[in-house]
């Protein structure tokens, strides 16, 4: 997706006539169904005027220009890409990131600088680092930039058109020497340098043909997190972190270095919705902190997620992956850095009905986690609480950290890497379910790359999911907890518990199931084992995971009532006993459950409804 593309001559003309920002604004509305902020429109006017002058002055008159180009499987957009052929007549494209900065200061982090942005001083990636990450990301995900057949060479730079460099400018310090070598920065007093950088890469023109190749190219299938955990832990990172992801990653590394010698505990809270890369950051941190010699441990409240991680990294590394309730006996500062993923699943205490009476105590679980570590990092999504007793929230963690006298740092992730990079889909799901008021009221499939479909029956749903799986992508069926969950039969086969008319399928195996028949994965491995396609998963086996295509059976435990114009929870249709005991909180928890199920997919989500009125309501919210 891009907001603008055309010839360089048309770009210069649109800018000269004062039309470029309005064209981008209208295109933005067509794609996202709401208008961009006035500040973003203003930045387009200023930055693109400066860029058009460079294009005109450099003589780039036979080239292709793409503006606000969305990185594949991400909601992040790069500012400008110019396409053409270089001095050897080979296809070439150059990313130009545009900044309105006037000054910047140093940062204690490795790849950041501090500048005035959004009404306050912020730490952001150095422009060379940001541009280089965009280049690397495209080379890793988009076929036209890595496939030898029809390869388009790619370079990147940044242009700070309001910035005048000065002696000992941190922007050009030795700290960023490698980044500047890879993706240089040009300022207002070095426009000629920018022209000299662009010209040899684009001098032969014929850029529209190259632009068409870029726009017609496809992205490589997503690298699944769990498929590469082993490689990451062994020091071979396979995911690229972008923008605020890399800022958060660098800050936590910085806190780890400081916290190692600091008597005051550090608590870092990273909030983000589904698909914003929380676990990607967490896994990268785990790998690099371990390689740097820190005693880093990774904890979650999810058995499925933890067991899959342990299997991926092997038996030797598995000891560093724990559960939230595994720190009851930990000594103070026993761990250098504790990475608490899925922190919304933190409970009041670590004791359960299985805890021996002699070990029962009323110490809050959050206290055990913070006590155990010098630096505690919480990755959290407030709207993913799906069971009573899960009390983790940003406010709860913040309140405890303040009472404990910890140094507290908060970050928020917004970039979307799931749902084909569509922030709009997650926003639409939240709006439709009444989880949150958002600007995305209607889902227009014709304007989106993410494939959302409503199916007429569970048979049609299953057929579509199996067809996707035949093509070599990951696909899973999942449902609300509206049917009983039986123990395996004596021969290890599973009972067809999910019954909808003539449709009969089993749930995934129970967590405590004993011997299972061949081909049936354990509960904790259902989301990643190929055999999982033959069973239906619930929220407890899919939460924390993703797949290319998700098939969701929307059960009768949550229905939309047109008379009251409200969602209604139906306890009588639920088999989730802990959630049913939540009483007045039942409807909220079930809404969160379907939010989780509907946001698991990278490329497409297909759904069928057992209640036709609910289906009717969903259809009324689509075009």
Q: State which of 390, 413, 436 marks the end of a domain.
A: 413
With 90 as the cut, is the pLDDT of residue 546 above it?
no
Record the tokens describing residue 619, joined without a space.
């259809």
Q: Is residue 25 included in any domain, yes or no?
A: yes
Q: Are residues 478 and 521 in the same domain?
A: yes
Average the pLDDT over 305-322 and give the result. Answer: 76
Task: Give the range among 354-363, 364-373, 590-599 with minimum mean pLDDT.
Answer: 354-363
With 50 as the cut, is the pLDDT of residue 225 above it?
no
CB-side neighbour CA atoms (13 Å) of 527: 30
Helix, coil or strand: residue 59: coil
At 228, is the pLDDT very low, low, confident or very high (cuts 50, 70, 90)?
A: very low
Q: Are residues 409 and 424 in the same domain?
A: no
Q: Are residues 129 and 201 in the same domain?
A: yes
Of residues 212, 195, 189, the one with CA closest to residue 51: 195
Q: Is residue 174 included in any domain, yes or no?
A: yes
The share of the chain scoring above pLDDT 90, in percent, equals 57
Q: Is residue 221 included in any domain, yes or no?
A: no
With 90 as the cut, is the pLDDT of residue 5 above it?
yes
Q: State which of 383, 413, 443 marks the end of a domain.
A: 413
Domain containing residue 294: CATH number: 3.40.50.300
Q: In what order do the strands lie in the sheet containing 547-554?
A: 451-454, 601-609, 547-554, 475-479, 536-537
Number of domains the chain is built from: 3
Q: Is residue 430 included in any domain, yes or no?
A: yes
Q: Are residues 199 and 333 in the same domain?
A: no
Record the tokens describing residue 361, joined without a space.
């105590």
Q: Are residues 198 and 243 in the same domain?
A: no
Average the pLDDT over 536-560 and give the result. Answer: 93
Rounded-to-integer distance, Cα 133 and Cα 138, Å: 9
Q: Is residue 488 included in any domain, yes or no?
A: yes
Q: Are residues 336 and 456 in the same domain?
A: no
Rounded-to-integer distance, Cα 524 and Cα 522, Å: 5
Rounded-to-integer distance, Cα 180 and Cα 164, Å: 17
Q: Are residues 294 and 401 in the same domain?
A: yes
Record the tokens describing residue 39, joined without a space.
């500040």
pLDDT recorded at residue 447: 66
Q: Are residues 187 and 273 in the same domain?
A: no
Query: What kind and span of H or E run contains 1?
Result: none
What is the sign of the dihedral through the CA atoms of 320, 508, 481 and 421?
A: positive
Rounded-to-integer distance, Cα 268 and Cα 291, Å: 21
With 50 as the cut, is the pLDDT of residue 67 above it?
yes
Q: Is residue 49 included in any domain, yes or no?
A: yes
At 227, is the pLDDT very low, low, confident or very high (cuts 50, 70, 90)?
A: very low
With 60 as the cut, is the pLDDT of residue 538 above it?
yes
Q: Are residues 429 and 364 in the same domain?
A: no
Q: Is residue 181 included in any domain, yes or no?
A: yes
Q: Model's pTM, two decimal places?
A: 0.78
Question: Mind listing the pLDDT tens digit for each residue in 159-194?
Answer: 999 999 888 899 999 999 999 999 999 999 999 999
Q: Which residue has the higher pLDDT, 473 or 316?
A: 473
pLDDT recorded at residue 99: 96
Average the pLDDT over 7-34 and give the result. Answer: 92
Task: Please give the residue range of the domain that contains residue 18.
Answer: 2-216
């Amino acid at each position: 997706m891009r907001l603008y593309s055309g010839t360089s001559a048309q770009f210069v003309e649109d800018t000269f006539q004062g039309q470029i920002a309005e064209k981008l604004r209208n295109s933005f509305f067509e794609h996202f169904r709401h208008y961009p902020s006035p500040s973003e429109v203003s930045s387009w006017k200023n930055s693109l005027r400066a860029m058009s002058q460079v294009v005109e002055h450099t003589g780039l008159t036979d080239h292709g220009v793409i503006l606000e180009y969305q990185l594949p499987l991400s909601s992040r957009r790069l500012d400008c890409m110019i396409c053409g052929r270089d001095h050897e007549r080979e296809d070439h494209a150059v990313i130009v990131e545009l900044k309105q900065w006037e000054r910047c200061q140093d940062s204690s982090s490795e790849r950041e600088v501090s500048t005035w942005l959004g009404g306050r001083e912020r730490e952001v990636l150095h422009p060379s680092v940001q541009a280089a990450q965009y280049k690397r990301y495209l080379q890793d995900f988009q076929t036209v930039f890595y496939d030898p057949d029809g390869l388009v060479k790619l370079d990147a730079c940044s242009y700070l058109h309001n910035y005048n460099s000065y002696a000992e400018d941190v922007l050009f310090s030795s700290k960023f020497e490698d980044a500047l070598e890879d993706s240089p920065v040009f300022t207002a007093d070095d426009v000629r340098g920018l022209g000299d950088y662009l010209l040899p890469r684009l001098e032969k023109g014929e850029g529209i043909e190259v632009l068409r190749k870029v726009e017609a190219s496809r992205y490589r299938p997503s690298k699944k997190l769990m498929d590469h955990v082993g490689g990451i832990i062994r020091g071979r990172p396979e995911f690229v972190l972008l923008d605020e992801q890399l800022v958060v990653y660098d800050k936590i590394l910085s806190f780890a270095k400081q916290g190692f010698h600091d008597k005051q505990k550090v608590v870092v809270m990273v909030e983000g919705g589904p698909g914003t890369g929380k676990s990607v950051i967490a896994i990268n941190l785990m790998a690099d902190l371990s390689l740097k010699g820190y005693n880093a441990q990774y904890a979650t409240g999810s058995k499925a997620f933890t067991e899959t991680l342990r299997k991926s990294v092997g038996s030797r590394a598995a000891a560093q992956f724990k559960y939230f309730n595994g720190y009851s006996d930990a000594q103070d500062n026993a761990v250098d850095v504790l990475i608490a993923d899925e922190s919304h699943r933190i409970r009041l205490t670590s004791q359960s009905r299985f805890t021996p009476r002699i070990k029962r105590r009323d110490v809050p679980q959050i206290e055990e986690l913070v006590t155990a570590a010098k630096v505690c990092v919480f990755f959290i999504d407030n709207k993913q609480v799906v069971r009573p007793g899960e009390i983790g929230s940003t406010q709860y963690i913040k309140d405890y950290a303040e009472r404990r006298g910890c140094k507290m740092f908060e970050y928020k992730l917004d970039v979307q890497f799931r749902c084909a990079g569509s922030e709009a889909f997650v926003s639409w799901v939240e709006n439709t379910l009444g989880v949150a008021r958002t600007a995305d009221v209607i889902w227009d499939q014709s304007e989106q790359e993410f494939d959302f479909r409503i199916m007429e029956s569970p048979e049609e749903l299953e057929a579509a999911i199996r067809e996707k799986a035949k093509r070599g992508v990951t696909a899973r069926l999942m449902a609300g907890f509206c049917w009983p969950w039986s123990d395996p039969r004596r021969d290890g086969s599973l009972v067809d518990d999910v019954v909808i008319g003539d449709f009969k399928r089993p749930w995934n195996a129970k967590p405590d199931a004993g011997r299972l028949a061949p081909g049936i994965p354990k509960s904790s491995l259902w989301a990643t084992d190929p055999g999982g396609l033959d069973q239906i998963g619930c929220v407890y086996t899919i939460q924390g995971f993703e797949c290319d295509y998700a098939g969701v059976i929307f059960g009768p435990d949550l229905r939309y009532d047109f008379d009251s114009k409200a969602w209604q929870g139906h306890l009588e249709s639920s088999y989730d006993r802990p959630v049913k005991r939540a009483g007045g909180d039942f409807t909220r928890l079930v809404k969160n459950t379907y939010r989780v199920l509907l946001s698991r997919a990278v490329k497409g989500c297909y759904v069928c409804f057992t209640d036709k009125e609910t289906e009717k309501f969903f259809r009324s919210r689509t075009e």
